[in-house]
Amino acid sequence: MSPYLSYEHINNWFCGPGLFSGFWQIVFWILVVFLGVKLLKAIFSSKAADSETPLDILRFRYARGEINREDFEKMKNEIAA
């Protein structure tokens, strides 16, 4: 039989005999799942959860000395209302 008509070599790529017979297939699928999860997390991650609230921004401005205590308290009450 001609070697060009035989498909026996295809069956040996992932499932053939050897020390690492199914090892590379398992590694491949673990990699596919891992990358899929990372991709989905990147797509669906909420940017709003990472953003600062107005009160956080106000506290940073007060800490940097951009506003004084009176202005901080006044703006804080306006935010809360």
Break the chain into its structural domains and give their ranges: 8-45, 49-80
Q: Does the pTM exceed 0.75?
A: no
Pure H helices in 1-81: 8-11, 23-44, 54-64, 69-80
The pLDDT of residue 27: 87
Tell me the pLDDT tens digit for each residue of 12-36.
Answer: 555 555 555 677 788 889 999 999 9
The pLDDT of residue 76: 94
The pLDDT of residue 65: 93
